[in-house]
A and B are shown apart, each in its own frame.
Chain A
Amino acid sequence: MLRFIFRRILLILPVLFGLTVIMFVIARVLPGDPVGLAAGPNATREEIEALAREFGLDQPILGQYWTYVSGLAQGDFGTSIFTRRPVADDLAAYLPATLELVFSALLIAIVVGIPAGLMAAIWRNRWPDYLSNILSVAAISMPRFFLGLLLQLCFAMWLMWLPLGGRFPIILEPPPGVTGFYTIDALLAGDMESFQTACRYLAMPAIAMSLSPLATILRMMRAATIEVMQQDYVTTARALGLSPRLIVFKYVLRNAISSSLTLIGLYFGWLLGGTVLVETVFDWPGVGLYATSAIVAQDFMPVVSVALVIGALFISVNIVIDLLYGVINPKVRYQ
């Protein structure tokens, strides 16, 4: 088991290496004038050249790449040419916000999607199934940013139940940082008031993010359940007098979830990359918003680093999913 984990972790390294190469090529080969943009419209030629020298942008591309990668090995993600802050510091500040958002969205999607998919399969080809089918296609088709705007219009502007955007009131002190997740930190500190506040800020962006994975998990779960219900062992269980409730909730559920699990892993990556839009709509201070502002400024280091971190997280989550799969499916575990 430990060996398996170790080997999988070793396999991440070449992937990360590949990611840096691709992002570097994109950022350097494509046209664009980051130095000019960063220096501002009134900068003189000398100022621009000085800036380029300061950030090593006058070096040949291989040299620049070497500097970046050797920095990475020491946990140095480079410096933003625009904010002049180390990218690692920014990431440390923004990443927890994004992760909190993504995990909340995934949690909603799983908690609602799995039972709903199970129900759709049980009532297959009857109205709950048809309804869930239409709704899930609609959910997949809904642009997240438009859904976010509608939620804002409804719950923040008209009903005024929830805050319009942001992560925590500026005038208040966020809960003491342990995990970086405000909700969990508030619970750890036993501060129920902060917890409620954090949840109110989290609610709309998390729902807007969750809809599409929810629908996909629902459909996957439905298909998997229908397939499992047709297996011989379900007939045997029925023939030997087990109650339908026991069959569905104990025997079918476990098998169906294990086949939906891989999908959840894939969706995690999709969600991480897709926070950009929701973070923009809700002013959520995460890496998506950070990457967007960096992209607009053609500020290269943050973009490469965000892509790298998201890629690494994506792979790690899928390793975790592989391990979980082994826990649920004994056949894999013993091989």
Chain B
Amino acid sequence: MIERHLSNKRSARAEALRRAFYRFRQSRLSLIGAAMVATVVFFTLFGAVLAPFPEHVDGGVDTSNRFSAPSLAHPFGTNELGQDVLSLVMAGTPVSVSAGFAVVFIGSVLGVIVGALAGFNGGWIDDVLMRFSDLMLTLPSLILAMAVAAALGPGFGNMIIAIALAWWPGYARLVRGEVLQAREEVYVAAARAIGASPFRVLFRHILPNIVSPVIVKMSLDMGFAILTVAALGFIGIGVRPPTPEWGTQLSIARSYMPDFWWTAVFPGLAMFMAVFGFNLLGDGLRDVLDPRARR
């Protein structure tokens, strides 16, 4: 009896997945987004290896070849140190993407913990945690991240911590709302009735059922996280050269506009394409996984 119930549940889940996949394929834009994200992931894994001038990625310079315009040898031209812009842009992918992912991951974990605690316990715990999240949401997140990053000092890890600190309240609000809703569902009442511990109820019964909206938010946030990382680099409080980072490259290249526009345009375009891909994919995922939000 229980086994049949389980297998029914499993086949229902497979059916739902098939439907979701069908819907996803229906949307051409999400497919384009998926392809773009796949490209980004490819460069994240192999960008540094495939770069035509790996010595430039490691900080090597070629002063005899400064500011050469895009050509066959240097499709994106060279910069003020004679470094190949294409190589730097390719090598910048893993920096931005891993930083963006780390921010979203840390932010979502923190947010899920806070939101689940608040929603599941209710009462004063809920009040305190949510007032605090609201406060954090009121603060301008970019300025907050900048302040923390500046105080912690430059560096990859510090930058991620700084952004993630400003990132979790959105997840906390989302998860709290979902937990509050799930708490009233019949299956949760049933689990309680058969004597499951609150801990078990939360982790085995409630959290698995609110994964979808969290994943959707993560995929939609990925692009914004990459943007924020680049923004910190652009302001000059993030990773420092020679680590190849798109925002930093852009901020340096800025002073060589308009004559040497390629040093600025290509890192910017890379940034735009990566974020565009994640946003298209996130939109598609939302339509598929969270039909309530679909209009």
Contacts and interface: CB of A to CB of B under 8 A. Distances in A.
Interface in B127-154: 131-132, 134-136, 138-144, 146-148, 150-153
B206 interface: no
Contacts of A73: none
A277 B231 contact: yes
Contacts of A145: 231, 234, 247, 250
Contacts of B139: 19, 22-23, 273, 307, 310-311
Interface string A277-316: 1001100000010011001101000010011001100110
A157 interface: yes
B138 A314 contact: yes
Interface residues of B, number: 46
A273 B290 CA distance: 29
Contacts of A157: 257-258
A310 B143 contact: yes
Interface stretch (A52-60, A133-141, A167-175, A186-194): A133-141
A69 interface: no
Contacts of B257: 149, 152-153, 157
A142 B272 contact: yes
A273 B144 CA distance: 9
B143 A306 contact: yes
A233 to B, nearest CB: 19
B142 A22 contact: no
B143 A22 contact: no
B29 A277 contact: no
Contacts of B230: 143
Interface of A: 15, 18-19, 22-23, 26-27, 30-32, 133-134, 137-138, 140-143, 145-146, 149-150, 152-153, 157-158, 222-223, 226-227, 269, 272-274, 276-277, 280-281, 288, 291-292, 295-296, 298, 303, 306-307, 310-311, 314-315
Contacts of B146: 276, 291-292, 295
Contacts of A143: 227, 230-231, 247, 268, 271-272, 275
B75 to A, nearest CB: 19
A153 B132 CA distance: 43
Nearest to B276: A141
B89 interface: no
Given A18-B135, A141-B276, 10 more contacts: A22-B136, A143-B275, A149-B257, A150-B268, A226-B295, A273-B140, A276-B146, A277-B142, A277-B234, A292-B235
A31 B295 contact: no
Contact of B148 (A19, A26, A226): A26
Nearest to A314: B138
Contacts of B272: 138, 141-143, 146
B229 to A, nearest CB: 10
Given A26-B151, A32-B151, A146-B271, A307 B143 contact: yes
A152 B279 CA distance: 26
Contact of B264 (A22, A149, A272, A306): A149
11 contacts: A23-B139, A137-B276, A141-B276, A143-B272, A146-B268, A153-B261, A153-B264, A223-B295, A280-B234, A292-B146, A295-B150
A24 to B, nearest CB: 11
Give the dominant DSSP class at A's interface: helix
Nearest to A140: B279
Contacts of A291: 143, 146
A149 B263 CA distance: 12
Contacts of A22: 135-136, 139
B167 to A, nearest CB: 13
Contacts of B295: 222-223, 226-227
A260 to B, nearest CB: 13
Nearest to B267: A146
B237 interface: yes
B265 interface: yes
Contacts of A149: 250, 254, 257, 264, 268
Contacts of A32: 150-153
B279 A296 contact: no
Contact of B144 (A26, A134, A227, A277): A26
B140 A27 contact: no
B29 A133 contact: yes
A163 B188 CA distance: 62
Given A134-B29, A140-B279, A149-B254, A30 B152 contact: yes
Contacts of B135: 15, 18-19, 22
A311 B138 contact: yes
A208 to B, nearest CB: 13
B283 interface: yes
Contacts of B150: 32, 295-296, 298
Which are the 3 A-B pairs with shortest beta-carbon distances? A273-B140, A157-B258, A30-B151
